[in-house]
């Protein structure tokens, strides 16, 4: 604290910016940990329920139990589009419809839209973590350079280059780099962790979309 309070105005501003980055980063990290964990756990539960169920309408009636899973969004969009196609054709969901009606393609587009929307939702705020991880060390370095310039200016004014004169100024300057690293390291680690978890969810969404379309195509074409 003595080092922090003893720094100059510019270095203090740099430290406040870095502390702000760090606080926001940790808030995002806590939020994303909760969000991604719920998405993963509920996706596993939903897939187990999906394969145990025999009818789409039965799944739709229970889908609110897995509201935090991105797969439920895909199911709702795909099932909603399928019902529109069936109703527009004047037939029941189990009847044979020609793929010329665009049924499978419409459902596929709905699934792609839902997938893109969920990816955007899951990746929200990750850009800030990436920005914090990449810029905080340089912001801290700027504070250090400025502090060292101030220290050398003091040496020039006093005319003394003894360790007792130089060391306090250098130590005050280096605190900016230290705080920059403290802000950057957790942000980078969290960003990489969430990117990995989200890639797993994206793969699950792609697999679910493929399986959903296969079921739809079998029901529409009877093959």
d(CA 223, CA 211): 14
- pLDDT tens for each residue of 24-40: 999 999 999 999 999 99
| Torsional class of 203: left (φ above 0), alpha (ψ -120 to 50), beta (otherwise) | alpha
Q: Residue 118 and residue 221: Cα distance in Å, rounded?
A: 29
H helices present in the chain, as ranges: 2-5, 9-52, 56-62, 70-88, 103-122, 126-158, 163-221
pTM of the model: 0.80
Q: Buried b vs exposed e over 110-125: b needs ≥16 C-beta within 10 Å?
A: bbeebbeebbeebeeb
Stated length of the chain: 223
Q: For 104, how many CA atoms within 13 A lie in the half-sphere containing its CB?
A: 18
> Mind listing the pLDDT tens digit for each residue in 41-65?
999 999 999 888 878 888 888 888 8
In order, the DSSP letters of 89-124 are TTS-TTS---GGGSHHHHHHHHHHHHHHHHHHHHTT
Which is more confident, 76 or 95? 76
CA distance 137 to 148: 16
- Taking only the tens place, the pLDDT of each residue in 176-195 is 889 999 999 999 999 999 99
Mean per-residue pLDDT of the chain: 83
Which residue ranges make up each domain of the chain?
13-132+182-221
């Amino acid at each position: 604290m003595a080092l922090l309070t003893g720094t100059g105005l510019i270095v203090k501003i740099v430290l406040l910016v870095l502390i702000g980055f760090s606080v926001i980063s940790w808030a995002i990290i806590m939020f994303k940990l909760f969000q991604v964990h719920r998405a993963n756990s509920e996706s596993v539960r939903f897939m187990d329920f999906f394969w145990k169920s025999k009818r789409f309408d039965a799944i739709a009636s229970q889908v609110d139990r897995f509201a935090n899973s991105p797969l439920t969004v895909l199911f709702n969009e795909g099932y909603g589009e399928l019902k529109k196609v069936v109703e527009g054709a004047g037939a029941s969901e189990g009847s044979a419809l020609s793929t010329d009606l665009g049924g499978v393609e419409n459902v596929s587009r709905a699934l792609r839209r839902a997938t893109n929307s969920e990816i955007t939702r899951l990746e929200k705020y990750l850009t800030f973590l990436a920005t914090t991880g990449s810029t905080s060390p340089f912001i801290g370095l700027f504070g250090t350079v400025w502090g060292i310039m101030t220290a050398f200016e003091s040496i020039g004014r006093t005319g003394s280059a003894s360790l007792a004169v130089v060391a306090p100024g250098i130590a005050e300057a280096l605190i900016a780099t230290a705080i920059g690293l403290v802000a950057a390291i957790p942000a980078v680690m969290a960003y990489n962790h969430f990117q990995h978890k989200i890639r797993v969810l994206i793969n699950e969404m792609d697999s679910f979309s493929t399986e959903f379309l296969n079921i739809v195509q079998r029901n529409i074409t009877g093959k």
